[in-house]
A and B are shown apart, each in its own frame.
Chain A
Amino acid sequence: SYMLTQPPSVSVAPGKTATITCGGNNIGSTSVHWYQQKPGLAPVLVIYFDTDRPSGVPERFSASNFGNTATLTISSVEAGDEADYYCQVWDSSRDHRGVFGGGTRLTV
């Protein structure tokens, strides 16, 4: 089955840029979506279709997807960005199923 690999943790100083990767075999050929989850709360969509931001998500959040790695970038990181971040794709190679990465804890 298709697997997505994320680093367990990323640390960044306030005002700096955080980069969170999501690795998968030829992930660039599929659409990647990103979610933010703060403690005790449900996940929230922050990026869809590789690069698009839902309304209300700051422009500081951006993403890319190429080759075997998708990347979420958060610029000018704020304390409020501290959360777990998950990448997600749909795997239709064998059967149609959702796949999440293991999640990355962003510490500010």
Chain B
Amino acid sequence: EAQLLESGGDLVQPGGSLRLSCAASGFSFSNYAMSWVRQAPGKGLEWVSAIRGSGDTTYYADSVKGRLFISRDNIENTLYLQMNSLRADDTALYYCAKEPVENPGWYFDLWGRGTLVTVSS
């Protein structure tokens, strides 16, 4: 069964850093584009970043560009989100999500359960 399991969420001070991980299993990880999607408490979904299956192309929302960085390890079947210069408005539940194709631009057919990032002093 295909699964995604996020980890790494924590309470962090403004300006701090954090790295999220998403462990994939049950499918050929390197064949599929992956994204991070976040949801602030009581709010809607916000797409954050996407990466091509090969890992050589990345895309970012304007709100995170230059502060958050997506990457993947196709040997370890893991997706990452390096989060730097964190702000209060980065507080959210962070989901990793899979697309059914290698290049980002379709839909998300598999989601993890999310990991919570709280930015507060």
Contact surface of A with B, Cβ cutoff 8 Å: 1, 31, 33, 35, 37, 41-45, 48-49, 54, 84, 86, 88, 90, 92, 95-103
> B60 to chain A: which residues have CB within 8 Å?
97
> B113 to chain A: which residues have CB within 8 Å?
41-42
Evaluate contact between A1 and B45: CB separation under 8 angstroms. no
Q: Does B91 contact A (CB under 8 A)?
A: no
| CB of B60 to closest CB in A, whole Å | 8
Interface pairs A-B: 3 shortest CB-CB: A98-B47, A33-B107, A103-B44
Q: How far is the CA of A43 from the CA of B62 in the complex (A)?
A: 23
Q: How far is the CA of A42 from the CA of B111 in the complex (A)?
A: 7
- B44 contacts which of A31, A33, A44, A101 (Cβ < 8 Å)? A101
Q: How far is the CA of A88 from the CA of B111 in the complex (A)?
A: 15
Given A45-B107, A48-B107, A96-B105: A86 touches B45 (CB 8 Å cut-off): yes
Q: How many A-B pairs with Cβ below 8 Å?
A: 66
23 contacts between A and B (CB under 8 A): A31-B107, A33-B108, A35-B108, A43-B45, A43-B95, A45-B107, A45-B109, A48-B109, A54-B109, A86-B44, A86-B45, A88-B107, A90-B105, A90-B106, A92-B105, A96-B59, A96-B104, A96-B105, A97-B50, A97-B60, A100-B45, A100-B46, A101-B44
Evaluate contact between B47 and A97: CB separation under 8 angstroms. yes
Evaluate contact between A98 and B35: CB separation under 8 angstroms. yes
- B61 contacts which of A41, A48, A97 (Cβ < 8 Å)? A97
Q: How far is the CA of A24 from the CA of B57 in the complex (A)?
A: 27
- B114 contacts which of A42, A84, A101 (Cβ < 8 Å)? A42
Evaluate contact between A95 and B45: CB separation under 8 angstroms. no
| CB of B110 to closest CB in A, whole Å | 9
Across the two chains, which residue of chain A brings its CB closest to B100?
A48
Evaluate contact between A42 and B47: CB separation under 8 angstroms. no
Given A86-B44, A102-B44: A42 touches B112 (CB 8 Å cut-off): yes
Across the two chains, which residue of chain B brings its CB closest to A54?
B109
Q: Does B12 contact A (CB under 8 A)?
A: no
Q: How far is the CA of A92 from the CA of B113 in the complex (A)?
A: 28
